[in-house]
Amino acid sequence: MASAQELIIEPTNGRQADACVILLHGLGADGHDFEPLIPALGLPDSLAVRFVLPHAPQLPVTVNGGMTMPAWYDILEMNLGRRVDVEQLRASARRVHGLIDDQIATGIDSRRIVIAGFSQGGAVAYEAALSYPKPLAGLLALSTYFATADSIELAEANRRLPIEVHHGSADPVVPESLGREGAEKVEALGYPVNYRTYEMGHSLCPEQAQDIAAWLTATLG
């Protein structure tokens, strides 16, 4: 069900959605942040994909001087270890589980639901997708890190979940080493992982949009 807590974009081809991408924004943004990406993907008319773009709650963020802003969880330290409020992160992941359940209730098979996230949203996407008890279509992790790699309770239903990881080689916010480390950790756990890097900072680029579109088409087609 749509609510003020998320932006929902139905297929532009007029067809009833039979697949869904839940895409989580980064710190300080909202669901509208990735709204322009959807037409830029140029997905084929053969796909009928609903995009769900949730808005994060307003939280005080320690590394930003305690300023309140849209955040999926508090970041306690901005070092390479990225110490975060794990309970808040898991609460956000449970919210994603609820959004998945909502999509299943509309008639979409869980195996046609992709979980995606950028930066902070990507850390929540890792936790949400890999702990969800029904099989999903895939996980797309953008310019992010695997914050709960050492404590996540993995769901057997998604132990072979395809994972696509993208990162900018000049990212000044989340160093590429963290993105690569996250990909290596899930690969070590036995997941099929594809890692791509782009000449960009903490953002998206046109080449990447093409790769995302190709991956979604292959995953949901």
Give tens-digit pLDDT for 192-218. 999 999 999 999 999 999 999 999 999
Compute CA 84 distance to the chain's CA centroid, rounded to the nearest angstrom: 17
Report helix angle 120-131 to 176-188, nearest 10. Answer: 10
* DSSP category for residue 16: P
Q: Which of 25, 74, 92, 119 is catalytic?
A: 119
Q: Given a cut of 80, is residue 190 above it in pLDDT?
A: yes
3-state secondary structure of 59: strand
> For 62-87, what is each residue's pLDDT tens digit?
999 999 999 999 999 877 667 899 99
Is 202 among the catalytic positions? yes
Q: Is 75 exposed, middle or buried (0-12, 13-18, 19+ CB in 10 A)?
A: buried
Q: Which residues pair with 196 in a beta bridge?
A: 166
Give the closest residue to 115 by CA, choosing from 138, 134, 149.
Answer: 138
What was the pLDDT predicted at 1?
43
Give the closest residue to 19 by CA, choosing from 56, 55, 44.
Answer: 44
Q: Which of 33, 85, 102, 171 is catalytic?
A: 171
Would you say 89 and 123 are in contact if contact means Cβ atoms under 8 Å apart? yes
Helices (H) and strands (E) in the chain, counts: 5, 9
Is 171 among the catalytic positions? yes
Q: Which of 109, 202, 203, 211 is catalytic?
A: 202
Give the closest residue to 173 by CA, choosing from 220, 127, 120, 129.
Answer: 120
What was the pLDDT predicted at 94?
98
- Model-level pTM? 0.96
> For 81-128, what is each residue's pLDDT tens digit?
678 999 999 999 999 999 999 999 999 999 999 999 999 999 999 999
Is 32 among the catalytic positions? no
Phi, psi at residue 5, to the nearest 5°? -90, -5
